[in-house]
Chains A and B, each alone.
Chain A
Amino acid sequence: MRTSITRNRILTVLALAGFVVFLVYAQTNWDAYRLRILNLCAVYTIFAVTFNLIYGYTGQFSLGHAGFAAIGAYAAALLTMSPEQKAANFFLAPIIPLLRDVEWPFLPALLVGGTLAALASLLIGWPALRLRGDYLAIATLGFSEIIRVLFVNWQRITNGSLGLKGIPDHTNVYWSWGAALVTIFVVKRLVDSSYGRALRAVRDDEVAAQALGVRLFTHKMMAFMLSSFFVGVAGGLMANLISTIDPKVFMFFLTYQIVGITVMGGMSSLTGSLVAAVLYTVFLEVLRPIESPFDLGPLHIPGIPGMRMVLFSTLLLLVILFYRQGLFGQREFSWDGLLNTLARLHRRVTGLWGRTPPPSTVDKGEQ
């Protein structure tokens, strides 16, 4: 057993090193368009993993992701923009003096965005987390809409519905995937800890969990705030990636997409969230041509704007109805699982030679 733990550690380190090499290669060689997709993959991964924490593991249906992302995005944007950019943006009403001259480095700006999002989640979680699932969903969705309405109206802080333009493009693949890996690591450690087991107990049966001494509210709140913190960070990454934001970016549509990604990847599977987020982002780009007109031989096919989202939501509904576990269900990626699969394939190929099969006693469900 010990050897397999050491082996897995080595494999993990190797895989991470390989991934870093890939990121360096991509950052130096890829064009802006492909880099943007790679960055978006990381942002959506954070969105999905955090939604999974609050929904998949804790069983709390929060539809507030868009609002928390908006908080993080605006905070990071306002803190990183140069005073000249702000002056150019706020031509209708001047920005409040407090924010006028600040120009922070990226990391503290992201952290402040995440912290503000977490504080906002405390504010709404306080009343809402005492409610049953679907009430919570509506309350958080309402909260996220309140945030949007506030951002439209706070002309002197957010520039209202005009939005912010010319946000510095700090986000590169190191920032985005660095944040994504930290998020995955933290959430993974949390759900594997005793807290994580308590969260799952809350999800499966609140009354039983309470009888076992799990403090429901504290645990839900902890998961909710942690999730919102990372959503805020992801919002900041997104703002400094797409460089133009306005309150419309953070409408409920964003939340629905995150719900869809997470459900398709599999509730209670971080691997699923990661894979689904990447697949979603890539497929959305691959399918972009169907929304613009194209010629198929002599046929002229007009573009159908919005078609990709119809496909996505249809697929989501089908997954919910017929394949509720999604891509990964509750399973996670593990080296043991991968090696077992490889060994099985290997045996199938070389089975004729009668070699002794490698032991496959390790439980696949374990890490």
Chain B
Amino acid sequence: MTVSLFFQHLANGISLGALYALIAIGYTMVYGILRLINFAHGDIVMVAAYVAFYGAAMYALPWWLAFPLAILLTAGLGMIIERAAYRPLRGVPRIQLFTSAVAVSFLLENLGIVVFSGRPKAFPRPAFLDKPLHVGDVIIISYTPVAVAVALILFGGLLYIVHRTKVGMAMRALSKDIETTGLMGVDTDRVIMIAFAIGSALAAAGGILLAIKFPQINPLMGVVPGLKAFIAAVLGGIGNITGAMIGGFLLGIAEIMIVAFFPQLAGYRDAFAYTILIALLLFRPTGLMGEVEPEKA
């Protein structure tokens, strides 16, 4: 493999990793607070892509209006899901909460099939993301740096919220102990809802980038990236936002590189992430940056 080809693959892996990272953060935030794997997160990604599609293709909105609008609406959807399907189940065994998440995911996928139709749709790609850029010998499409920049900017914004604002402080407190945080005068339901909104907004950004990268959308498009992003979150140490970011990029690069170095494994590419997950759970369940914590009921 030539050096330039290697960098070509690396760029490809990084742009895939940016997607995983954005989606993984939502998983990790919700898990950090509620100890819930928000199974519907991948389907939120899908909804965002469709909203952006309808905005840009059907109503002919310019992308700079359609995309933020989609992110905003998806954040709202995340809040609605939290309010309707998760909040009524506070205090019941966690497994019930997870069952509810599975049901929400199932519902969103089926609604997607009915409302958007099961047939894949071509996603309009803004022209400025389609330009080839020459960096030495390596040709990358202008989408790649934009995707990475979007991921890093949103990540920076999130770090600011979590570590420098009052809401962020409340989130960090909630992840330690919900009940006590409530007793300290924090409106826990509101903070949890904000966490869902932020997580869904990031997932929406990821979904739009996903739709641009593979310019085709269908109602089940979120499932596999969702699962993989979850694996990325586990890889980085679930509950740790920086870990999710790093895990996302690592997983994206690893997936591309495995196929680049072993082309005969190309068909097994989708199985690779799950194998990582199972190996991780066997040898290092806390992931790269996770801390061992006592079991929480």
- A residues near B, CB below 8 A? 59, 61, 63, 124, 127-128, 131-135, 137-139, 141-143, 145-146, 149-150, 152-153, 252-253, 256, 259-260, 263, 304-307, 309-310, 312-314, 316-317, 320-321, 324
- Docked complex: B35-67 residues within 8 A CB-CB of A: 36-37, 39
Task: Tell me whether A131 and B285 are in contact (CB under 8 A).
Answer: yes
Indicate if B157 sits at the interface (CB-CB under 8 A).
no
Given the complex, which residues of B lie within 8 Å of A61, measured CB to CB?
Answer: 95, 98-99
Pick the interface stretch among B71-79, B111-119, B120-128, B170-178: B111-119
Task: Tell me whether A256 and B106 are in contact (CB under 8 A).
Answer: yes
- Docked complex: B182-228 residues within 8 A CB-CB of A: 223-224, 227
Task: Known A-B contacts: A138-B234, A139-B278, A152-B267. Give 15 more (CB < 8 A).
Answer: A128-B281, A133-B95, A135-B37, A135-B234, A137-B98, A139-B281, A149-B271, A256-B106, A305-B117, A306-B113, A306-B118, A309-B106, A310-B110, A320-B89, A320-B100
Task: Tell me whether A146 and B274 are in contact (CB under 8 A).
Answer: yes
Candidates A131, A152, A305, A313; contact of B107 at CB < 8 Å: A313
Indicate if B261 sits at the interface (CB-CB under 8 A).
no
Candidates B234, B270, B273, B278; contact of A127 at CB < 8 Å: B278
Task: Tell me whether A142 and B107 are in contact (CB under 8 A).
Answer: no
CA of A4 to CA of B188 in the docked complex: distance in angstroms? 55
CA of A202 to CA of B261 in the docked complex: distance in angstroms? 45
Please give the number of chain B residues whose Cβ is less than 8 angstroms from any Cβ of chain A in the complex: 46
Contact A324 to B98, CB < 8 A, known contacts A132-B295, A141-B227: no
Task: Tell me whether B114 and A310 are in contact (CB under 8 A).
Answer: yes
Please encode chain B, from 72 to 107, with 1 for each CB lying within 8 Å of some chain A CB and 0 for all others: 000000000000110011001011101110111111
Main secondary structure of the interface of B (DSSP, over half): helix
Given the complex, which residues of A lie within 8 Å of B98, measured CB to CB?
Answer: 61, 133-134, 137
22 contacts between A and B (CB under 8 A): A61-B98, A63-B102, A127-B278, A133-B95, A135-B281, A135-B285, A139-B277, A142-B227, A142-B277, A145-B270, A149-B267, A149-B268, A150-B271, A153-B268, A306-B118, A309-B110, A313-B107, A316-B103, A317-B100, A320-B89, A321-B85, A321-B100
CA of A252 to CA of B268 in the docked complex: distance in angstroms? 18
Indicate if B230 sits at the interface (CB-CB under 8 A).
yes
The residue of chain A having its C-beta at the shortest distance from the C-beta of B277 within the complex is A142
Chain B nearest CB from A311 CB (Å) reads: 9
Task: Tell me whether B104 and A317 are in contact (CB under 8 A).
Answer: yes
CA of A134 to CA of B277 in the docked complex: distance in angstroms? 13
Given the complex, which residues of B lie within 8 Å of A312, measured CB to CB?
Answer: 110
Indicate if B135 sits at the interface (CB-CB under 8 A).
no
The residue of chain A having its C-beta at the shortest distance from the C-beta of B223 within the complex is A252
Task: Tell me whether A260 and B106 are in contact (CB under 8 A).
Answer: yes
Indicate if B235 sits at the interface (CB-CB under 8 A).
no
Task: Tell me whether B118 and A305 are in contact (CB under 8 A).
Answer: yes
Task: Tell me whether B227 and A260 are in contact (CB under 8 A).
Answer: no
Candidates A135, A149, A263, A310; contact of B270 at CB < 8 Å: A149
Indicate if B11 sits at the interface (CB-CB under 8 A).
no
Indicate if B231 sits at the interface (CB-CB under 8 A).
yes
Given the complex, which residues of A lie within 8 Å of B104, measured CB to CB?
Answer: 317
Task: Tell me whether B114 and A307 are in contact (CB under 8 A).
Answer: yes
The residue of chain B having its C-beta at the shortest distance from the C-beta of A155 within the complex is B267
CA of A133 to CA of B36 in the docked complex: distance in angstroms? 10
Task: Tell me whether A134 and B37 are in contact (CB under 8 A).
Answer: yes
Chain B nearest CB from A248 CB (Å) reads: 11
Chain B nearest CB from A111 CB (Å) reads: 28
Given the complex, which residues of A lie within 8 Å of B224, measured CB to CB?
Answer: 145
Candidates A128, A132, A134, A260; contact of B278 at CB < 8 Å: A128
Task: Tell me whether A138 and B227 are in contact (CB under 8 A).
Answer: yes
Given the complex, which residues of A lie within 8 Å of B270, measured CB to CB?
Answer: 145, 149
Chain B nearest CB from A122 CB (Å) reads: 14
Given the complex, which residues of B lie within 8 Å of A252, measured CB to CB?
Answer: 223
Contact A143 to B102, CB < 8 A, known contacts A149-B268, A317-B107: no
